[in-house]
Chains A and B, each alone.
Chain A
Amino acid sequence: MSNLVIILAIFGWAILTYLAFKINKTLGNVFVGVLALALPAYFFTYTPSDYTVSVMGMSLQFGFTSFASLFAMLVVVLSSFALLYSIPYMNKKDRLGWFYMNFMFSVGGMMGILMSKDLVSLFIFWEIMTWSSYLIVIYQGKKVNKVGLKYMIFSAIGAYAMLMAIVLINKWSGNVNIEQFFASFPNYSSAAKLLSSLLLLTGFGVKSALMPLHVWAPGAYTKSPMSYTAVFSGALSKMGIYGMALVAVNLYVHSNMPIMGEVIAWAGAITAVLATFWAIFQNDIRKLLAYSSIGQLGYIAVGLGIGTELSVFAGLYLAILHGLFKGVLWMVVGAIEHRTGKTDFRDISGLIKKMPFTFFVALVAIIALAGMPPLSGFVGKWMLYESMITSNHFIMVLFIFLSSTAAFLYCFHFLYGLFLGQQEDEFLKDVKEVPVLMMIPMGLISLSLIAFGTFPGLIFKPIAQAMSTLGFENVTWRMSSLTNAWGNSMFLKPANFMFMAVFVFFLIIITVVNHKKTKKVGTKDIANGGEPIRDEDNLHYSVDIYRPFYRVISPIMKYKVETFYKRISKGIEEFFQFFRRIYSGNGQTYALYVVIFLTALLILSSTIF
């Protein structure tokens, strides 16, 4: 079966699901479940083959490169898990058919992007993806119009940039095939090189929320339903990374323009630092994760921008991993929202008592996000640092280190503010653990995060294959050890097993010693100067907890990109206010305009022709 058919099948299935929800909710849920199971089952068993469609004299080609299939794997896994997760999560909401249809459309759009071998079909699917995600962003109705508008404006800017790039490329290379474009790119003039690649980068950069173009992301990630945000932030933003990797590596690294790679890397580094700082001071968990996503995508941009073998490898690894752990974290937020209806640190505390499983998966995902050794995040961090150090990016490595050390702050805030701290009986009374169908996706992804921590080779294999598409042939990888460009190695098995062995050894000791006399007491029984805590006292300290740090970095926090855009929009508004005066509503004035226009046209035509 050809590739295009899958995408068309997904689109068709989306419409069928919409109709099924019109008939019956249960039937619709069955449709959703079937796609969630069929998608990976089909994807992991089929053999790729190319396919060409001719439309209006243009041949549109479809087929997977091994690079695209790496991302397709992420998209398929994450989407099917998110669809499964959606069934209980979205249960109480209305307009389900509309939601799932758009969800499936954006999944199909992503698959289409990855399958496109030419820029035109890529653009078409890109727009399908953008529109369907936009419709989900504004799914909540009028109150999110502003957020949706922001997202739409930035997507439109990206789309126009991309469209312009496609037109230019078509003019310069004669066709829109991606591979031929890469092949002919070195022959371009340097201005053409710069223009086409920058336009493409703008298009991709909007989706991957790179620094000056990130403004839409916090709102859009926050306002769409969490089960979709898992895909939105986990997989959909990776489409930007996919395009950026193609541009950065295929165009810049292999065409002797490393300076542009540096620009991408620096944009990524600055994004990572500033987004992390913003994430630290958020009091809404969704906003926190949204900014954290932006920061993590910054790391990936750094890896791709530097463009050495190890760094690109690290970038791709982090891209896959970010999809996984951020998928889990959004699902965790969704679980909390599902059970408590709240997403603000002011309202939530002590959930570990009632939602231990959710806490465990959140802990795993957070450790992976923070890049701590026993879990998989460390592998990516290690490769990123080593690649930066071995390629002499010694100032950038400080930025990245600052960002990932600062990330501990929001990681702690996330876990502590939601799950730990004072347990309020009043609040926890009606809370219970999430349904099994929500547990399964979170649990399975968390397990994979644990496994990749010691055996990253499981995921290195597809990445190494993907690297060959990007022009790095014969990338060596080992099951559980890492090596940098200077030949220094890191063996994960001894490190992780040692850690676990010591941990378990002391766990046994500390549990066995004096076991009978070790009592568990509630969080109201704390040492606070002997004052008994009444039930109505809330001592949970989780709002604005990083005030001292804010005082340190307040000079940089004052300047926000939003203000820049606000000024621009204000300027544009005033500009159009001026233009409005032209439309005076007076017939004579319009007649005058017509006369002036015709005269001008005459003069112009006489000079040009």
Chain B
Amino acid sequence: MDIGRFLLTSITTTALAFVVGMFYAGFRRKITARVQNRVGPPVYQNFIDVVKLWSKKSNITHGVMQHLAPLWQIATSITTLMFIPILVDSTFFVNLTFKGDLIFLLYLMVVGSLGMALGAGEGGNPNSAIGVTRGLTQMIGFEIPWVMALVALMIQHQTTTIVGLMDVQQASGTWLMFSSPFAFLAALLAMPGMFRYSPFDIVGAPAELASGPISEFGGKYLGTLMTNGSIFAFVKLVLYVDIFMGGATNLVLLVVKTFVLYMFPVLWGLVSPRFRTEQSVRFFWGWPLFFGLLGILQAAFL
């Protein structure tokens, strides 16, 4: 693999993720508005927000760690993106697909959170620290059913790579969400926690915590965080589509599948009030955990 081609594909992938993720965030705001009987902002509103944040004429930071915090996030998102197959058997979007596996992704996806936590901590704002502790606590909650789902799939199909799981779906002709429904349910229920959408948005609750961890971030830092947020949303959606919905053979199908999947946390969030931290952990350790156990039992004994 020569470096020029790799640069081309990786930049294309990142740009794709950025644009799609931004539009998804815009659609989320639009749908929220429509549900609340409003007109809502245009779907490209988030692009404008990012441009505005980057064109702020002054920025403040409290120190090195806060300066680096958005970078941890965005480096994590883009590296994760490189390890996820965008399309099935694509010769273009190869990136680093064959270089890592699911355990690596599981760990990589939390690096950004810890970096962000340190940056938020350096700000010295107690709201940030409270938000971070809530976020980390919630992470323990949703990671367990999510890992259970992945472990179930891995032991059933004797592979730990995403490509392997996609090949299984190609060979059997059915999606894993149908052949391993319990694992899928567990992973799906863990999804809103991963997105931190309502009802699991106590981490950055604006009214209680003054937007929590990001309360000291403004200007270009907030712009980077928003960019990262949309890329990371796309990463998570593609990961779910690849694992449970057989991946996508072309970009249109990918967009359709990810959008349908994205509607689940969005629409659930619209009709849900906010959980307290311990309530959300108890939620994740309730039914999702049960479905995860069923998934593992199915994988181990059927």
Hey, which bits of chain A sit against chain B, CB under 8 A?
350, 352-353, 356, 363, 367, 370-374, 378, 381-382, 385-386, 389-390, 392, 394-395, 397-398, 401-402, 405-406, 408-409, 411-412, 415-416, 420-423, 484, 486, 488-491, 494-495, 498-500, 502-503, 506-507, 510-511, 513-514, 517-529, 539-542, 545-546, 548-549, 551-552
Contacts and interface: CB of A to CB of B under 8 A. Distances in A.
Contacts of A491: 99-100
Contact of B137 (A392, A402, A511, A549): A549
Q: Chain B's interface: helix, strand, loop or mixed, by majority?
A: helix
B144 A510 contact: no
B16 interface: no
A515 to B, nearest CB: 9
B56 interface: yes
A486 B154 CA distance: 11
B124 A423 contact: yes
Contacts of A502: 74-75, 78-79
A420 B118 contact: yes
12 contacts: A350-B124, A353-B63, A389-B154, A394-B299, A406-B140, A415-B118, A415-B121, A420-B124, A499-B79, A502-B78, A514-B58, A541-B129
B155 to A, nearest CB: 5
Contacts, number: 236
A378 B114 CA distance: 14
B299 to A, nearest CB: 8
A389 B281 contact: no
A405 B148 CA distance: 14
A370 B114 contact: yes
B215 A527 contact: yes
Contact of A527 (B67, B96, B103, B210): B210
A510 B217 CA distance: 13
Given A397-B147, A523-B122, A549-B278, 7 more contacts: A381-B107, A488-B101, A513-B220, A521-B62, A526-B62, A528-B125, A539-B124
Interface in B264-302: 276-278, 281-282, 285, 296, 299-300
Nearest to A401: B147
Given A502-B74, A545-B129, A490 B121 contact: no
B300 A392 contact: yes
B143 A548 contact: no
Interface of B: 54, 56-65, 67-68, 70-72, 74-76, 78-79, 82-83, 96, 99-101, 103-104, 107-108, 110-111, 113-114, 117-118, 121-127, 129-130, 132-134, 136-137, 139-140, 143-144, 147-148, 151-152, 154-155, 158-161, 164, 210, 215-216, 219-221, 224, 276-278, 281-282, 285, 296, 299-300
B105 to A, nearest CB: 10
B185 to A, nearest CB: 17
Given A521-B62, A541-B129, A372 B107 contact: yes
A484 B160 contact: yes
A528 to B, nearest CB: 7
Q: Which among B103, B118, B130 has the highest number of chain A CB atoms within 10 Å? A: B103
Contacts of B75: 499-500, 502-503, 506
Nearest to A516: B58
B171 to A, nearest CB: 16
Contacts of A397: 147, 151
**6 shortest A-B CB distances, which residue pairs?**
A523-B124, A548-B277, A420-B121, A416-B121, A503-B75, A491-B99
B239 to A, nearest CB: 16
Contacts of A402: 140, 144
Given A398-B148, A488-B161, A549 B300 contact: no
Contacts of A398: 144, 147-148, 151
Contacts of B82: 498
A16 B118 CA distance: 47
B121 A408 contact: no
B125 A373 contact: no
B132 to A, nearest CB: 7
A406 B78 CA distance: 25
A395 B139 CA distance: 19
B103 A420 contact: no
B62 A520 contact: yes
Given A401-B143, A491-B100, A510-B70, A526 B60 contact: no
Given A502-B79, A520-B61, A549 B281 contact: yes
B224 A506 contact: yes
B118 A373 contact: no
Contact of A511 (B56, B67, B127, B148): B67
A79 to B, nearest CB: 31
A528 B134 CA distance: 19
Contact of B62 (A367, A408, A523, A539): A523
B160 A510 contact: no
Contacts of B101: 488-490
Contacts of A352: 63-65, 122
B278 A382 contact: no
Nearest to B227: A506
A522 B61 CA distance: 9
